Amino acid sequence: ADTALLTREYLSVYKKELQDGIEETKKILLLHIDSDKEVTTLIFERIKPAVVKFLGEHQEYALYLAADGVKRDAVYNEYLEQFAQYSPHVLKYDDPWVLCKQIERANIVITTKLHVGIVASSLGTSVISFPNIPNKIPTLAASDAMISCS
């Protein structure tokens, strides 16, 4: 809990310019992507259909693809192809604080990573978490730090 409070306080005074072209007129659905083959398969098979359905019903949202630790352009390009019909914005990872600020600015974060869900939740951003390591979710729930979606 202390880490979450410190993160939130730091981001509230974080001064780095964000040169990402976020459309202020649209809400942001941030899909946290991964380069791991199994996680990518999970995202494309299980998460993508729900994202596509949601974006089809909610034109007020823009799709943003973000990652932590993805360095290869080929990974970003694979996701861009999968979601091409929604002209997603790619937020390439280069600074953890910029990623945290992007998560804070999003209206919804969809992730398979527990740490991303915890950061988003601590920043007050709605989270939809798809576990890729099932034994971590009961631990999170037991700690009263439930990831929520509102």
pLDDT tens for 14-55 read 544 454 555 568 999 999 998 888 888 889 998 999 999 999
Rounded to two decimals, the pTM is 0.76
Q: Which residues pair with 29 in a beta bridge?
A: 63, 108
Q: In Å, how far from its chain's centre is CA 8?
A: 16
Q: How far is CA 119 from CA 41, 48, 54, 91, 93, in A?
A: 24, 22, 23, 17, 16
Cα 123 to Cα 120: distance, rounded to the nearest angstrom: 5
DSSP state of 47: I
State pLDDT tens for residues 64-94: 999 887 778 888 899 999 999 999 999 888 8
